[in-house]
Amino acid sequence: MSQVLTIERCDLNIKDNKSSHRTELFADERLIVRRGQAFAIFVYLKHGSKTLKANDPSVNFIVHTGLLPKKESGTKVSFPLSNSTVNTKWSASATHDPASNKVSITIASSPNAPIGLYSLAVNHNGQETTLGQFTLLFNAWCQNDAVYMQGEAKRQEYVLAQHGQIYRGTHKRIKGTPWNFGQFEAGILDICLKILDDNPKFALDADQDCSARRNPIYVTRVLSAMINSNDDNGVLVGKWYNITGGVHPGQWVGTGDILRQWAESGSVRYGQCWVFAAVGCTVSRAFGIPCRVVTNFGSAHDSNANLIIENVYDEEGNNISDGDSIWNFHVWVDSWMTRPDLGKEYDGWQTSDPTPQEKSDGVYCCGPAPLKAIKEGELTKKYDTPFIFAEVNADVENLVRLSSGKYVKIGGSTNSVGCFISTKAVGSDERQDITDEYKYPEGSKEERKVFEKAQHRNKLQQRGEEPGLQLKIKLAENMIVGSDFEVYIGVTNNSMVTKTCMLLFFAKAVGYNGRRGKSCGFTSDRVELPAGEERRLYLKLEYDTYGSVITSDRLIHLSAVTIDKENVDYHKAEKTIVLDEPPVEIKLLGEAKVRQPVSVRLTMANPLPEALQDCSFTVAGAGLVDSKPITFKIGRVGPKQEATATAMFTPTTAGSSVLLVSFDSDKLKNIKNSISIVVMGG
């Protein structure tokens, strides 16, 4: 009578496997491994049990994932016990200690296996014994994996880093905002997997969807749709104005709270582009896909796909454009992967955008599009390359619509879109300019050639026309929120004759996405300009006027127009002010040690001529503050007075981390800063 395989217990060797697979940062106490790399488990046999030997036809191992696993789909795989494992497919080997009942089993996963939650079992003569469960992720350290990335520093940054910088403002006033991605916080990986399970493609064909999760292209495209809630029960609801009934996008300091809230109660209110991108980065890194957050300054939204942003104004200088727009900045993500569907030359960074702007294949999603295709104007390459190409390359035309219905071109630009494209540098909080990865230098032969290949655009203004008026907006040096300051327009007559025109100078609050708010200043004058001379028109911006209308982005849009109706001559200049915010000072009081309380002193001076109500500091940081940020309420802070608080927290993890601090009140919101903290071991 043949022996029966009887297993007493199985040790998944979680600690050692997580260490070797670089998943030890996950707070979840379970086996999490990366595909294409072997892991070891220990099986303890009962006395008298059949042993596990290589090449025994009666024994094989089974792994499966998904609701309806199938061998044809690769979601269920059976493989024998061999003398050794291989790194190209599922395989297993074993070592039996004759002096004990312990068998060491090494299991290697396929570098092309679908990611997700797996069950592992051993089958002996048709009797199956479950050994346990594990979660399989993409592997940027495995050369056979589609997300393989060379360079340990890059892998540390784009897969393992839990905090980063997201850049906002304008191309002349770029400011980094710290963000806690928190992909390794307890429960986050399960929520990320839930995002995949909640996507409509899973409901339509669960097995096909789970099988496709082997492909980072597919997973990234699903995420770009599921991070927004427009077509499904996705993570975030977008809101750009009249923000009530939810969390203002600027108040978020990390992804963890957003994902937990979504898992508990559905779509979270509210997000804007940098929040969508940050959540997308968190989920991608949790899955093991190298990912970076990218900001494009002067980002075009080309709604009619002609690669021209047409700004149309009436005779009074009001913007009456419909559809096209240029955002002061827009934020998306780049993910690293191969593109076997397009060819090896398109491997590398791929842009995807979870902010809902336009539909793709009937769904609000965008990408992934290869940076190579974007730079070369290869608009037929998947996915959504034309839209992203326009975001960084579109030309701008400014037109005045006369009362007669006639349109008069008053200028334009070929270099105002796609400026200072930025991401956090590897291994530091410095900004890295990656514009050259997206486009050739502005004005270069290559850049123009690429643009013309992508689209036949309208002809540039004919050369040799008589030069006219030149209009420039000049700003004050110190423009801190709460202060009064002056700006002016300078108009120079470059022609050979005297010009007479009206000067109009507008100031309006504006959101980061370019949406105009209420007026906070206006002045006008009729001027006569002799040839070669300059005139100035000053506008004083007072806090009493702008303070109640600006958003938490602290942006004011200036617009200057010259109107010469007699000669049908119009000129326009625009500039966006980013008001400086008061600094939040953070001082560590003592040495940070694991599991020992430590305090920081938080200070911020109120720059406003009025009191702040409902003031608070919020602190967060992976490995420093428990999964939920801590808020310290301090109440009222008088005009020109200091807000102070002492925050205490207990670090949980040794090593380098970043403490994120945010100040909020009724009139000043989302004032952020961060410090690096080295936590000593216990």
DSSP letter string, 365-394: ----EEHHHHHHT-TTSTTTHHHHHHHHH-
| pLDDT for res 497 | 67
CA distances, 285 to each of 79, 182, 336, 563, 623 (Å): 30, 10, 11, 53, 17
**Residue that is written with structure tokens 């504006």 in the block:** 510
Q: How far apart are CA 81 and CA 105, in angstroms?
A: 9
Collapsing DSSP states into helix, strand and coil, what is residue 476?
coil
Model confidence at 477, pLDDT cuts 50, 70, 90, reads confident
Sign of CA pseudo-dihedral 344, 346, 348, 353: negative
pLDDT at 459 over 50: no
Name the maximum alpha-carbon separation found in the chain.
113
User: What tokens were used for 275?
Assistant: 């929040």
User: What tokens were used for 94?
Assistant: 């074993």
User: What tokens were used for 330?
Assistant: 């827009």
Q: Strands 7-11 and 38-45: what pairing? A: antiparallel
DSSP calls for 262-287? HHHHSSEEEE-HHHHHHHHHHHHHHH
Q: How far apart are CA 115 and CA 65, in angstroms?
A: 8
Q: Read off the pLDDT of residues 159-189 as tens digits, 9 standing for 90 and up.
A: 999 999 999 999 999 999 999 999 999 999 9
Q: How far apart are CA 344 and CA 201, in angstroms?
A: 28
| pLDDT for res 457 | 33
Of 83-87, 158-162, 187-191, the poorest mean pLDDT is in: 83-87
- Percentage of the residues of the chain whose pLDDT score is greater than 90: 67
CA distances, 232 to each of 144, 223, 384 (Å): 34, 12, 20
Q: How far apart are CA 508 and CA 524, in angstroms?
A: 15
Collapsing DSSP states into helix, strand and coil, what is residue 599?
strand
| pLDDT for res 536 | 93
At residue 376, what are phi and psi to the nearest 5 degrees?
A: -90, 0
Among the listed residues 348, 338, 457, the one whose alpha carbon sits nearest the alpha carbon of residue 395? 457
Which residues are known catalytic residues? 273, 330, 353
Among the listed residues 431, 371, 353, the one whose alpha carbon sits nearest the alpha carbon of residue 166? 431
DSSP calls for 73-84? TTSEEEEEEESS
CA distances, 315 to each of 209, 366, 602 (Å): 54, 37, 51
Q: Is 616 exposed, middle or buried (0-12, 13-18, 19+ CB in 10 A)?
A: middle
Q: Are 6 and 53 in contact (CB under 8 A)?
A: no
385-393 and 445-454 helices cross at what angle (nearest 10)?
Answer: 140
Average pLDDT over residues 454-468: 44
pLDDT at 498 over 80: no
Cβ neighbours, 10 Å, residue 454 = 20
Among the listed residues 490, 492, 465, 560, the one whose alpha carbon sits nearest the alpha carbon of residue 521? 560
Collapsing DSSP states into helix, strand and coil, what is residue 14?
helix
Model confidence at 307, pLDDT cuts 50, 70, 90, reads confident
Mean pLDDT over each residue of the chain, to the nearest integer: 90
**Residue that is written with structure tokens 């923000």 in the block:** 243
Model confidence at 2, pLDDT cuts 50, 70, 90, reads low
Cβ neighbours, 10 Å, residue 30 = 16
Q: How far apart are CA 665 and CA 616, in angstroms?
A: 6
| pLDDT for res 513 | 82
Q: Is 546 exposed, middle or buried (0-12, 13-18, 19+ CB in 10 A)?
A: buried
Sign of CA pseudo-dihedral 369, 372, 376, 378: negative
| Of 334-338, 548-552, 553-557, 568-572, highest mean pLDDT | 334-338
Q: Read off the pLDDT of residues 394-441 as tens digits, 9 standing for 90 and up.
A: 888 888 989 888 988 888 887 889 999 999 999 999 999 999 999 988
Q: Read off the pLDDT of residues 49-62 as tens digits, 9 standing for 90 and up.
A: 888 888 888 899 99
| pLDDT for res 464 | 34
More confident residue, 403 or 220: 220
The one-letter code for the residue type at 609 is P
| pLDDT for res 456 | 40
Of 83-87, 309-313, 427-431, 539-543, the poorest mean pLDDT is in: 309-313
Q: Are 248 and 215 in contact (CB under 8 A)?
A: no
| pLDDT for res 1 | 44
Average pLDDT over residues 196-211: 94
* Cβ within 8 Å of residue 118, ≥6 positions away: 63, 64, 65, 133, 134, 135, 136
User: What tokens were used for 508?
Assistant: 């309006």
Cα R_g (the chain), whole angstroms: 29
Q: Are 671 and 663 in contact (CB under 8 A)?
A: yes
Average pLDDT over residues 336-346: 94
Q: Is 485 exposed, middle or buried (0-12, 13-18, 19+ CB in 10 A)?
A: middle
CA distances, 310 to each of 123, 442, 561 (Å): 66, 20, 17
pLDDT at 605 over 80: yes
User: What tokens were used for 435?
Assistant: 């514009």
Q: How far apart are CA 149 and CA 613, in angstroms?
A: 49
Q: How far apart are CA 578 and CA 173, in angstroms?
A: 7
Among the listed residues 307, 310, 357, 349, the one whose alpha carbon sits nearest the alpha carbon of residue 331? 357
Collapsing DSSP states into helix, strand and coil, what is residue 152?
helix
| pLDDT for res 463 | 34
Collapsing DSSP states into helix, strand and coil, what is residue 344?
helix
Q: Read off the pLDDT of residues 634-682 as tens digits, 9 standing for 90 and up.
A: 999 999 999 999 999 999 989 999 999 999 999 998 899 999 999 998 6
Q: Read off the pLDDT of residues 557-588 as tens digits, 9 standing for 90 and up.
A: 999 999 887 777 788 899 999 999 999 999 99
